[in-house]
Amino acid sequence: MTVAAATHLDRASEAYVADVFAAIGEDVPVQEGFLVGSGAAGGFDPRTSDIDLVVVAAEPLGPAREALVRRLLDLPCPVRDLQLVLYVEGAQPPEFELNLNEGIERPGEDAFWFVLDAAAAEDHAIPLLHGRPWDEFFEPVSPEQLRAALLESLAWSESRPADSEFARVNAIRARHYLEHGEWISKEEAER
């Protein structure tokens, strides 16, 4: 399986993404795979960035889930982390089938993260497999849904320890969107 699209990834990361899609395709038909985050929007640095993928599968993973998670985690990742969310076709964020982050499956993540990611993906997602656009699979996030998710993410950030850099950057990005109606990168928020 090859990955075809103009991305901000380096060659090693592109090869890794192709391996991820191939691993998933061993168990379920993949309708489309999207690159999101800095690999799609810009600012990708293989030394510090994650690879953020959204996969749309034709059917649930079923009994293949555990073996697939092992295979994905066994792939040598050329960057800091793989952040992968898999949806079954027809499901809408936050109704994910699989969520991998920081080397483990995270089924209990707060729903607002997936709404925020979907809203950003509407602007930046790059289809890598079949050229099918984001909006062919996902309904637009309404302004009300987005505002609620941003406010939840701010509350989450405020509940974290004061020295949490991730929470600080998340709060800056959320406030910026609420005030200006545009996404900024983590790097922009850190400045």
Tens-of-pLDDT digits for all 191 residues of the chain? 456 568 889 999 999 999 999 999 999 999 999 999 999 988 899 998 999 999 999 999 999 999 999 999 999 999 999 999 999 999 999 999 999 999 999 999 999 999 999 999 998 999 999 999 999 999 999 999 999 999 999 999 999 999 999 999 999 999 999 999 988 877 788 87
Three-state DSSP at 131 gives coil
Lookup result for tokens 């391996």: 19
Residues in the chain: 191
Q: Give alpha helix (H) positions in the chain.
A: 11-25, 38-41, 65-74, 111-124, 143-158, 165-180, 186-190
C-alpha torsion sign, points 52, 16, 67, 137: positive
0.95 surpassed by pTM: no
Helices 165-180/143-158 angle, 10° precision: 150
